[in-house]
Amino acid sequence: MRRPYSSRAALALWLAALLLATLTLALRGELVTDLQGFAPDPISADGVALDPGAGPAGRMLLLAIEGGDSRERAAASDALVAALKEAPEVAGIQNGRLDPDDPALDFLIEHRYLLSPRVDAEHFSEGRLREHLKDRRDDLASAVPELPRELIPRDPTAETRAVLERLAAGSGHATTGPEGVWVSPDRDRALLILRSAAEGMDLDAQAALIEHTRASFSEHADTGLRLQIAGPAVIAVESRATIRGEVTWITAGASLALAVLLLAVFRHPHPVWLAAVPLASGILIAAAVVTLVFGHLHGIALAFGITVLGIALDYPLHLFAHAQRAGGERPDGGDLSQIARELWPAIALGAGSTVLVFALMAMTGFSGMAQLGLFVLTGVAVAAVTTRWILPLLIPTRLQREGLPPLRLPLPAGLARPPAITRWGVALLALAAMVVVANTAPFPWEDRLSALHPVPEEQVALDQQLRSALGLPDVRHALLITGASPEQVLRASEALTPGLESLREAGALGGFAHAADVLPSQAVQRERQAALPEPGLLRERLEAARARLGFRDGAFEPFLRDIETARQQERLTPETLPDGPLRHALNPLLQPRDGGAGWIAWVRLQGVHDAEALARWAAAAPLAATPGFDAVGVRHIDFFRASEDLVSGFRDEALQRLALGLVAVALLLLAATRAPGRSLRILTAVGTGLLLTLAALILLGIQLSLFHLIALLLITGLCLDYAVFFSRPLRDAAARLRNLRSVSVCALSTLVVFGLLSLSSLPVLQAIGLTVVLGVVFSFLAAALLAPEVIRRDTA
């Protein structure tokens, strides 16, 4: 049998579209996984991106080595530093050991008078010098000198120590063990801090780095030692891997179960694989379209989109369910193309309504939701069109001619002719559900992003343990300072110090560190230089101060030389700082703004006990009274809040769009069917299905997350489909029965897939699975019971 010209054209078009989509994805496909791309506008404060992983803490990996004895652990710690410090993906790795030969240490000593917070005019008075020289004289005789004896000629006032202490305070306060490396308080573990070059939420890069770190460790460390890695990136990478693993096996299991179900129902192999064709075409083309429109495809939009596209599986099932031969004869409706043409109004109405809902979502400014909307609407449209025009052509000619065997699908008789009382039952249930939903206050929304991640408890515990052992700053709170130049934000950091100090004294926070601790502003450096006495004066004071202490003449010439050098010294700027501990400490705290003029500085906070007091203080413009800071912004940033705002923003927007969408769907139904009664039935069924699902979730005591919402979107689409089919004005009983069977097959297959999902141990998958299962049951019942009355005359 030669296919007609139009069929060949349709096939060619379809194949060309698939090819183009594949090419688009192969050439331009970019899967983005950071949250930033999913946000309405980038989550930001004053234009500074606030990805939960982008704060100063997000790039940090905390490493712990355990097992063996303390020496072995220290050796492994040193070996790991040596192996990783030059790696391009590592911005820095520290284990607490100060390298005595590090040129950066010399740089620090050379610039100590610019960096030391103690330098002021009083600092080099004769009286103070005398006190310092007495201490140094004791150091010369002592078994336990306060300052290393070799530094005494250069640095009798111990400025080096002050600078090192200041630097160490900013980067945490870990315990150093007897072997000279950081250890946990119980000394059973050696600790290291690794900072990645990549963004904290660049999960592929983080996963590679974690892998590389483990490989280096097993290469260099003795057997018997174990490496533990913690940090926000580890948690994110692990939860992603867990989700992937579980999704993989559940998908495989669900596909298998679905195949078995379809095989059992249709009693023929072809419908099993053909059912996947519209769905697969939809996913492929939708992914390509989103990529073309947005320039990339967000991983979350893809995952959610594929979930919601589950509706697309229904279209081919409707087709097959209607294509069975009745009692060994050819189906009444003729060949499959004929059946597809007959079903098209119903499929088009259901798909069209779904497309409308998601078109409204696609038009939001919320980039992630716009992607999801476009993905689903494209996918649904493609799947519907594929079912209508392509699928009949793919079915082998013999099967076309003979039709499919009768469905093996026993259905309770009550479903075909529901007793009137059940309708009242549904109405009552819907009313009760409305009461439940309306009376639930506060609504149990779950906005914490962490609640969505399947984070293993022990991983969180390890993170907290290591974080507190290393004295690292709070991952949640920070202050953000924005200004025009590095000098301005550094001066602002200095000006904020007294305020922060009083917050600390009031117990609102445990401690703080800012960029000016590492690199003082030019103004402060200039003040310090001005405070250094000129050579003649200093020599005079020094001579007087060292009297009768037994120091040799000229013992402090190196000190006099160093002070004179410091007076003339070029002041330090962020740009001229060499690589080394100073730069490592400064970089995370002081950065030029992304893609724009201006600079930002972070204030790290430790042990925030009273976040509200902190926020109040920051909101009250603590710099307003100080002149010169008009254009400087100071903000308290709560990274968790930022991500919670993202989630709740997404949720509110999605709900709004859903409501708007249903109104639009009502208009569409009315216009398309020109039957107000049928439109009302469909809308009531959808409303009832959603309401019952929501009430059931609330009664089960479930906190509703983003994932429940995504599931509700899918249910909306499914319920639209069921209700459209159930409300078809069919006259003869056989057609009605076929119709019922068709919807039942769809509902059953969705139940199988999402039922398996609800068995998952992961909260995300469980949420989606359970919600869809509930939704399918309620939608099916609502749609079936709200179907028009059987017209007795025809069945008789």
Partner 1 sequence: MLMAGLLLAPLAAPGDDTLGALLDALATERATTLAFEERRDDPMLEFPEIQSGSLAFEPPDTLVRKVDGPRGETVHIEGDTLTLERRGSSREIDLNEQPALATLTGLFRALLTGDRETLETDFEIDITGDMDAWTLELVPRDRALRRMVPELTLKGAGDELRELVTIEAGGHQSHMRFDPPQYTD
Residue of 6, 26, 88, 101 that binds partner 1 (CB under 8 A): 101
71 or 616: CB nearest partner 1:
71
| Distance of closest approach, residue 97 Cβ to partner 1, in angstroms | 8
Per-position x/- string for 493-532, each x denoting binding to partner 1 as judged by CB under 8 A, each - no binding:
----------------------------------------
Residue 552 CB, shortest distance to partner 1, in Å, is 5
Nearer to partner 1, 130 or 593 (CB): 130
- 728 near partner 1, judged by CB under 8 A: no
Structure tokens at 258: 């679905």
Residue 519 backbone phi and psi in degrees, to 5: -130, 105
Burial class from Cβ neighbours inside 10 Å (0-12, 13-18, 19+) for residue 461 reads exposed
- For 232, half-sphere exposure in the C-beta direction (CA atoms, 13 angstrom radius) is 24
Identify the three-state secondary structure at position 120: coil
Site for partner 1 in 211-230 (CB under 8 A): none
Contact between 544 and partner 1 by CB under 8 A: the answer reads no
- Please state the length of the chain: 796
Phi-psi region of 578 (alpha: psi -120 to 50; beta: other; left: phi over 0): beta
> Rounded to the nearest whole angstrom, what is the least distance from the CB of residue 538 to partner 1 in the complex?
18
Nearest-angstrom CA–CA distance, 320 and 554: 102
Give me the phi and psi of 790, to 5 degrees please.
-70, 140
All residues at 6 or more sequence positions from 619 whose CB lies less than 8 Å from its CB, including other chains: 636
| Minimum CB distance to partner 1 smaller for 69 or for 204 | 69
Least distance to partner 1, CB of residue 473, Å: 21
Among 97, 268, 539, 571, binds partner 1 (CB under 8 A): 97
Both tokens of residue 562?
């160093």
Q: Which of these ranges, 2-10, 177-185, 267-275, 560-568, lies near partner 1 under the rule CB under 8 A?
A: 177-185
Stretch near partner 1 under the rule CB under 8 A, chosen from 23-31, 171-179, 372-380, 423-431: 171-179
187 sits near partner 1 (criterion: CB under 8 A): yes
Q: Does 82 bind partner 1 (CB under 8 A)?
A: no
SS3 label, residue 146: coil
Q: Minimum distance from CB of 542 to partner 1 (Å)? A: 13
Output the six-digit token pair for 504.
């600390």
Q: Candidates 244, 552, 674, 793: give the one binding partner 1 (CB under 8 A).
A: 552
With binding defined as CB under 8 A, does residue 177 bind partner 1? yes
Could you say which DSSP state residue 396 is in?
-
Among 550, 596, 627, 701, binds partner 1 (CB under 8 A): 550
Query: How many CA atoms does the CB half-sphere of 411 hold within 13 Å?
Result: 22
H or E element, residue 32: strand 31-32
Nearer to partner 1, 193 or 452 (CB): 193
| Nearest approach, Cβ of residue 755 and partner 1 (Å) | 57
DSSP codes, 43-70: -EETTEE--TTTSTTTTEEEEEEESS-H
Contact between 137 and 129 (Cβ < 8 Å): no
Minimum distance from CB of 644 to partner 1 (Å)? 40
* Contact status: 186 vs partner 1 (CB under 8 A): no
Calculate the dihedral angle through the C-alpha atoms of 9, 10, 12, 13, rounding to the nearest 10 degrees. 110
Question: Is residue 555 a contact point for partner 1 (CB under 8 A)?
Answer: yes
At closest approach, how far in Å is the CB of 143 from partner 1? Answer: 5
Comparing CB distances to partner 1, the nearer of 172 and 177 is: 177
Q: Report helix, strand or coil for 335.
A: coil
Which listed range, 54-62, 97-105, 335-343, 422-430, lies at the site for partner 1 (CB under 8 A)?
A: 97-105
Beta-carbon contacts of 154 under 8 Å, excluding residues fewer than 6 positions away, are 109, 558, 559, 562
Would you count residue 176 as binding partner 1 (CB under 8 A)?
yes
Task: Check residue 85 for interaction with partner 1 (CB under 8 A).
Answer: no
Selected from 4, 103, 127, 178, the binder of partner 1 by CB under 8 A is 178
Which helix or strand (DSSP H or E) is residue 633 part of? strand 633-638
Q: Are strands 599-606 and 590-592 parallel, antiparallel or unpaired?
A: antiparallel
Distance, CA of 43 to chain centre: 12
Task: Using alpha carbons, list the distances in angstroms from residue 769 to 182, 367, 708, 719.
Answer: 46, 25, 9, 16
Q: C-beta of 471: minimal distance to partner 1 in Å?
A: 13
Please tell me whether residue 153 binds partner 1 under the rule CB under 8 A.
Answer: yes
Residue 148 beta carbon to partner 1: minimum distance, rounded to whole angstroms: 6
Looking at the Cβ atoms of 44 and 175, the one nearer to partner 1 is: 175
Q: Under rule CB under 8 A, how many of the chain's residues touch partner 1?
A: 31
Least separation, in Å, of the C-beta of 157 and partner 1? 15
Q: Which stretch binds partner 1 (CB under 8 A): 169-177, 233-241, 390-398, 779-787?
A: 169-177
Closer to partner 1 at the Cβ: 97 or 571?
Answer: 97
Q: Is 605 helix (H, G, I), strand (E, B) or coil?
A: strand
Contact stretch for partner 1 (CB under 8 A) within 51-59, 93-101, 415-423, 729-737? 93-101
Q: How far is the CB of 558 from partner 1 (least distance, A)?
A: 10
Q: Does 152 bind partner 1 (CB under 8 A)?
A: yes
Closest CA to 775 of 704, 668, 691: 691
Output 100 or 536, the one with its CB closest to partner 1: 100
Q: Smallest distance, Å, CB 73 to partner 1? A: 13
Taking the CA atoms of residue 274, residue 279, residue 284 and residue 288 in that order, the dihedral angle to the nearest 10 degrees is 140
Rounded least distance, CB 95 to partner 1, Å: 13
Of residues 551 and 629, the one with the C-beta less far from partner 1: 551
Helices (H), 389-532: 391-394, 397-402, 413-416, 420-439, 457-469, 486-505, 515-518, 522-531
Indicate the SS3 state at residue 89. coil
For partner 1, give the closer residue by CB, 154 or 388.
154
Please list every residue from 53 through 72 that binds partner 1, using CB under 8 A: 71
Among 294, 358, 551, 707, binds partner 1 (CB under 8 A): 551
Q: Which stretch binds partner 1 (CB under 8 A): 174-182, 191-199, 536-544, 670-678?
A: 174-182
Q: How far is the CB of 213 from partner 1 (least distance, A)?
A: 24
Of residues 132-151, those binding partner 1 (CB under 8 A): 137-138, 140-144, 148-150
How would DSSP label each residue in 161-217? HHHHHHHHHHT--PEE-TTSSEE-TTSSEEEEEEEESS-TT-HHHHHHHHHHHHHHH
Please state at what angle helix 299-308 crosses helix 367-385, rounded to 10 degrees.
40
* Cα–Cα distance measured from residue 539 to residue 598, given in angstroms and rounded to the nearest whole number: 44
Q: Are 615 and 624 in contact (CB under 8 A)?
A: no
Identify the residue among 47, 67, 117, 180 touching partner 1 (CB under 8 A). 180
Candidates 1, 27, 100, 793; binder of partner 1 (CB under 8 A) is 100
Distance of closest approach, residue 559 Cβ to partner 1, in angstroms: 11
Please measure the distance between the N-terminal and C-terminal CA atoms of the chain and give it in whole angstroms. 40
156 vs 350, which CB is nearer to partner 1?
156
- Catalog residues that contact partner 1 under the rule CB under 8 A: 71, 97-101, 137-138, 140-144, 148-150, 152-153, 175-180, 183, 187, 550-553, 555
